[in-house]
Amino acid sequence: MNPSIVGVGTSAFGRFPTARIESLAHTAIVEALDDAALRPGDIDAAYVGSVFGPAGIANRVLAGVGLAGIPVYRIEAACASGTVALHEAQRAVRTGMHRRVLAVGVEQLSVVFDGPIVPEPTDPEGRSGLALPALYALQANRYLAEHGLDPAVLAHIAVKNKFAGSMNERAHLSGAPPSVEQVLASRPIAGPLTLLQCCPMTDGAAAVIVGDGTEGGVPILASSFVSGPAWESGSDEPWSMRTVSAAASAVWEASGRGPDDVDVAEMHDAFTIGEILTTEALGLAEPGMAGRLAAEGVTALGGRLPINPSGGLLSRGHPLGATGLAQAAELVWQLRSQSGRRQVDGARTALLETMGGGAAGVDGNACVVALLGGDR
């Protein structure tokens, strides 16, 4: 079977500490069902991505929309949880196991953390207080030094993504976009990263329905799921980028396409340096060039290759389990020309990437890369 996305939906993204997590998921699932013109009884199985959701979260959120009695799987793969759910949903359809499968991601970080995500205290990073902003800051310092770049190249990522996010009514941070100077002058978090270069802690949900292609939809040309290999401290590559590159290579090979075929992309930009490194690991830019492409407008809305037209994690927010499926929803809207002021003209082929990390000893927990659409 040739899987395709036949329905997508999301909640609004923000901080909703008084909402029930089931209600966030309900909004996304119902929108996806309506989008696909399907009823709950038409769904054969479901995969639910969530990192910090309560025990039984998968069955809880599905029962709320009448999806009980079907095979239900919960997936936790850090930030890639929702995208792994999508990968498994399309695999179930591609292999003929099921005809229609629902992938859901949901997270309510506002009721779990008062500040940044606390590192696992049993890991060396956790014992030393090396939270994710600090880990990405180390990558940023290395990147700037290796390529002889000014920290302003990082700020351009925040400026373009927050400009896109200002046109996304569902985004957590949808206010007026800042200037490069304002990004650099915002509160220091872990040098050289400042507050406006870090994603917010967000609540929200997203849902995608995968069908067997007989009902149309946006084709899933290829999808690759790679778990991080053992981390080699002597590696010349930045942390987690081997995992991203491996997932991308598998997608290019399976689809017969390459980076030059991509019209629009949604990728993991929890921190500005994350988008830069990922753009290069995916083969969309030469080493040392991703930040410069952003500064030149190439990867901004209106440029040759818009990246994160939703506003990315930096603006839409990062509700861990829901992030990858929110990215997928944005790309489906782009390929259908339903993105309003954020619309990328002529978008026919879209690239999705989400990387989840944080476990000590591995080069990133997991990465999923998928290619959607297909017209050249």
Catalytic residue list: 79, 318
Please list the helix, strand and coil fractions of the chain in percent, rounded to the nearest 5, in that order.
40, 20, 40
**Rounded CA gap, 366 and 225, in Å?**
7
Tokens 């929200």: give the residue.
Answer: 204
| Coil, helix or strand at residue 84 | helix
**Torsion sign, CA atoms 128, 84, 346, 309:** negative
Which of these, 4, 356, 65, lies nearest to 210 by C-alpha position? 4
Which amino acid appears at position 273 of this protein?
Answer: I
CB 79 within 8 A of CB 320: yes
| Coil, helix or strand at residue 211 | strand
**Rounded CA gap, 359 and 79, in Å?**
12
Distance of alpha carbon 50 from its chain centroid, rounded? Answer: 13
> Nearest 10 degrees: CA dihedral of 249, 251, 252, 255?
160
Which amino acid appears at position 65 of this protein?
Answer: V
Q: Which two tokens stand for residue 186?
A: 């915002």
CB 49 within 8 A of CB 84: yes
Q: What's the Cα-to-Cα distance from 353 to each of 36, 82, 98, rounded to whole Å? A: 24, 11, 24
Length of the chain measured in residues = 376
**Rounded CA gap, 32 and 159, in Å?**
31
**Rounded CA gap, 40 and 102, in Å?**
10
- Burial-class residue 231 by CB neighbours within 10 Å (0-12, 13-18, 19+): middle
